[in-house]
């Protein structure tokens, strides 16, 4: 646990309380209020956790004002340009970049766990064909705890390790199976000769009647999408995983909880919502109508793919993703498709518009990822499952970090109660 560097003083009803100030390795100082309730009999109020750190973590650092994202200290731009998703998984899980031998060993372990228990195929078949793949994934990942009994003991470091590798390895298989099931095609088994991203593309697009040739540009773009979504410190789904895990729930159940949270349109569901919005706008001449709607508080409409809770300058992932979008669309020769034209024009207008500029609403990573995935041939319903595959390593790394903490406690927020004070029950005849 970090030691206090100095103290802050809180004066309440004439009494003074001393609050230790903790200094992180980078970033703003943190007031330690853990003893506040015991000493002063008050809670703090922070819905949405805009000013509250819920844990110590050494995995990811974000500076929202500078538009900086570091994993274990390494900038995302450098990782996206020089590393691979599988190497990033190692870095997030174990804290350091691997040597060549460590990377080969880790890649081998992940690759050898990509198949799912054959009986899981039956489990898929219980779902309706038109189920959203995220609905199927929440169910199937939760059900992994019914299939892998030998990696459920959270107090055994080896079982935690095996569960982690299993989830990183099997989530692409499960997402691809959910996709295949929804389009009525047979499941495609994983192939160890492919890379992590290439294997996922193959499981999605190969059919028994015809091999799928993995295009290296698309494979690299998919790998990048995975890297750019791998971890993002204490976002909603990661906090959900930590909260679920804090009760001692098994890792598969915790990741299923994270997937459920990710599905929301304000979080991982934004890439699907964004592309659907671009299609609904349809043509460039309708953009002003949508910009006006986004500014109108009564409309309840937001420009999907714009804005971020933490980034108030730019989203560094969006910059890399934009480059990838140009590459992929160039390769596929579809730079001029109508959705893309709407996206480009919307981006141009929003970046100049006073409302968006003053509120610091920039295109986020999801604005571009949907465009790439659409060009690759994925239906919009697969966008969030791909985010889930990518984020699995972040969830698992954060979960492992939490479980390994010595004084880990169950998460239990307090509340500002605004309901009725105590009153007596009234018999139904007298109400
Ligand atoms: N379009 C129009 N106005 C917006 C948008 C938007 N996309 N986002 C925020 N605003 C406005 C709000 O109305 C608010 O205005 P006000 O100050 O006049 O009331 C102001 O900007 C601040 O917005 P908040 O909702 O308070 O910001 P918060 O940090 O809570 O929300 C969020 C961030 C949820 C991402 C929000 O910007 C949003 O809904 N964006 C669209 C959905 C999206 O793209 N989500 C993806 C996030 S990235 C990810 O999960 C990988």
Interval 168-189: pLDDT, tens: 999 999 999 999 999 999 999 9
Report the pLDDT averaged over residues 401-426.
95
- Residue to probe by mutation, ligand 1, list 239, 307, 354, 369, most atoms within 8 Å of CB: 307
Interval 189-226: pLDDT, tens: 999 999 999 999 999 999 999 989 999 999 999 999 99
Distance 304 CA to ligand 1 centre (A): 9
Lookup: tokens for 404: 């390994």
Distance 385 CA to ligand 1 centre (A): 22
* Catalytic member of 267, 308, 315, 374: 308
Interval 85-113: pLDDT, tens: 999 999 999 999 999 999 999 999 999 99
Instruction: Give pLDDT, residue 3.
Output: 76
Rounded to two decimals, the pTM is 0.91
Report the pLDDT averaged over residues 67-91.
97
Q: Distance between the two ends of the chain, CA-based, in angstroms?
A: 55
Report which ligand 1 atom has the smallest distance to the Cα of 364.
48
Instruction: Give pLDDT, residue 341.
Output: 87
Lookup: tokens for 382: 């697969």
Alpha-helix runs per DSSP H in 282-416: 287-295, 316-332, 338-352, 354-358, 365-376, 383-404
- Residue to probe by mutation, ligand 1, list 302, 314, 388, most atoms within 8 Å of CB: 302
- Give the residue from 93, 412, 44, 395 showing the smallest Cα distance to 243: 412
Report which ligand 1 atom has the smallest distance to the Cα of 267.
50
Q: Is the CB of 257 under 6 A from ligand 1?
A: no
Report the pLDDT averaged over residues 261-267.
92
- Give the residue from 115, 117, 98, 114 showing the smallest Cα distance to 106: 98
Q: Which helix (H) or strand (E) element contains residue 4?
A: strand 4-12
Q: Is the CB of 269 under 6 A from ligand 1?
A: no
Q: Is the CB of 312 under 6 A from ligand 1?
A: no
Instruction: Give pLDDT, residue 344.
Output: 86
Report which ligand 1 atom has the smallest distance to the Cα of 387.
51
Give the Cα separation of 282 and 278 in Å (integer).
6
- Which protein residue has the closest C-alpha to ligand 1 atom 20? 359
- Which protein residue has the closest C-alpha to ligand 1 atom 36? 307
Distance 266 CA to ligand 1 centre (A): 8
- Buried b / exposed e over 94-117, threshold 16 CB at 10 Å, is eeeebeeeeeeebbeebbebbebe
Share of the chain above pLDDT 70, in %: 100
Residue 2 pLDDT greater than 80, yes or no:
no
Crossing angle, helix 157-183 and helix 196-205, to 10 degrees? 30
Instruction: Give pLDDT, residue 138.
Output: 96
Interval 345-382: pLDDT, tens: 998 998 899 999 999 898 888 888 888 999 899 999 99
Residue 43 · residue 37 · CB < 8 Å: yes
Give the Cα separation of 136 and 141 in Å (integer).
8
Distance 86 CA to ligand 1 centre (A): 32
- Cα-based torsion angle of the residue sequence 163, 165, 170, 171 in order, rounded to the nearest 10 degrees: 90
Distance 53 CA to ligand 1 centre (A): 21
DSSP per residue, 98-150: PPHHHHHHHHHHHHTT-S--TTHHHHHHTS-TTS-HHHHHHHHHHHHHHH-GG
Interval 112-167: pLDDT, tens: 999 999 999 999 999 999 999 999 999 999 999 999 999 999 999 999 999 999 99
- Which protein residue has the closest C-alpha to ligand 1 atom 4? 302
Instruction: Give pLDDT, residue 1.
Output: 65
Report the pLDDT averaged over residues 37-61.
96
* Catalytic member of 32, 231, 366, 374: 366
185's CB contacts (< 8 A; 6+ apart) are 207
Distance 222 CA to ligand 1 centre (A): 26
Give the Cα separation of 172 and 178 in Å (integer).
10
Give the Cα separation of 425 and 414 in Å (integer).
26
24's CB contacts (< 8 A; 6+ apart) are 2, 30
Interval 318-353: pLDDT, tens: 989 988 888 888 888 887 778 888 988 998 998 899
Residue 268 pLDDT greater than 90, yes or no:
no
Residue 3 annotated as catalytic: no
Other beta carbons within 10 angstroms of residue 252's beta carbon come to 23
| Distance from chain centroid for Cα 28 | 24
Distance 45 CA to ligand 1 centre (A): 21
Report which ligand 1 atom has the smallest distance to the Cα of 310.
29
Averaged pLDDT of the chain: 94
- Which protein residue has the closest C-alpha to ligand 1 atom 24? 309
Q: Is the CB of 299 under 6 A from ligand 1?
A: no
Instruction: Give pLDDT, residue 132.
Output: 94
Q: Which helix (H) or strand (E) element contains residue 8?
A: strand 4-12
Residue 9 pLDDT greater than 80, yes or no:
yes
- Buried b / exposed e over 181-219, threshold 16 CB at 10 Å, is bbeeeebbebeeebbbbbbbbbbbbbeeeeeeebbeebb
Residue 132 annotated as catalytic: no
Burial class (CB within 10 angstroms; exposed 0-12, middle 13-18, buried 19+) of 331: middle
Lookup: tokens for 197: 């991203």
Instruction: Give pLDDT, residue 373.
Output: 93
Q: Is the CB of 305 under 6 A from ligand 1?
A: yes
- Which protein residue has the closest C-alpha to ligand 1 atom 13? 297
Question: No. of H helices and E strands in the chain?
Answer: 18, 6
Give the Cα separation of 306 and 294 in Å (integer).
11
Residue 97 · residue 90 · CB < 8 Å: yes
Residue 324 · residue 223 · CB < 8 Å: no
Distance 303 CA to ligand 1 centre (A): 8
């Amino acid at each position: 646990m970090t030691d206090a560097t100095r103290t802050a003083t809180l004066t309440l009803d004439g009494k003074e309380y001393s609050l230790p100030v903790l200094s992180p390795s980078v970033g703003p100082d943190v007031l330690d209020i853990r003893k506040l309730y015991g000493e002063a009999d008050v809670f703090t109020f922070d819905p949405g956790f805009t000013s509250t750190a819920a844990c110590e973590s050494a995995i990811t650092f974000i500076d929202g004002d500078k538009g900086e994202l570091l994993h274990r200290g390494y900038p995302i731009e450098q990782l996206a340009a020089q590393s691979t998703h599988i190497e990033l998984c190692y870095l997030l899980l174990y804290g350091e970049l691997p040597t060549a031998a460590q990377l080969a060993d880790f890649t081998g372990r992940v690759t050898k766990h990509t198949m799912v228990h054959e009986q899981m195929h039956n489990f898929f078949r219980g779902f309706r064909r038109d189920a959203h793949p995220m609905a199927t994934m929440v169910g199937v990942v939760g059900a992994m705890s019914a299939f892998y009994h030998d990696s459920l003991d959270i107090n055994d470091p080896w079982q935690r390790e095996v569960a982690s590798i299993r989830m990183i390895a099997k989530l692409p298989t499960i997402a691809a199976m959910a996709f295949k099931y929804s389009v009525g095609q047979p499941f495609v088994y994983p192939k160890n000769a492919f890379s992590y991203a290439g294997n996922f593309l193959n499981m999605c697009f190969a059919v028994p009647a015809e091999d799928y040739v993995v295009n290296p540009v698309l494979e690299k773009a998919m790998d990048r999408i995975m890297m750019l979504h791998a971890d993002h410190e204490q976002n909603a789904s990661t906090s959900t995983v930590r909260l679920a895990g804090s009760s001692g729930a098994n890792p598969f159940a915790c990741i299923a909880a994270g997937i459920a949270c990710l599905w929301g349109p304000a979080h991982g569901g934004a890439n699907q919502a964004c592309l659907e919005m671009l299609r609904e706008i349809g043509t460039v001449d309708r953009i002003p109508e949508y910009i006006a709607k986004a500014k109108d508080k009564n409309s309840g409409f937001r420009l999907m793919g714009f804005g971020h809770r933490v980034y108030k300058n730019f989203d560094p992932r969006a910059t890399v993703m934009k480059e990838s979008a140009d590459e992929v669309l160039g390769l596929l020769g579809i730079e001029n498709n109508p959705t893309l034209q709407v996206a480009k024009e919307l981006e141009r207008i929003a970046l100049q518009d006073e409302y968006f500029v003053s509120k610091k609403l920039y295109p986020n990573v999801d604005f571009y990822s949907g465009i790439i995935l659409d060009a690759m041939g994925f239906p919009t319903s697969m966008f969030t499952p791909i985010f889930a595959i990518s984020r699995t390593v972040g969830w698992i790394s954060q979960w492992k970090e939490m479980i390994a903490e010595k004084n880990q406690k169950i998460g239990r927020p307090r509340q500002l109660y605004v309901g009725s004070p105590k009153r007596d029950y009234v018999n139904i005849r007298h109400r």
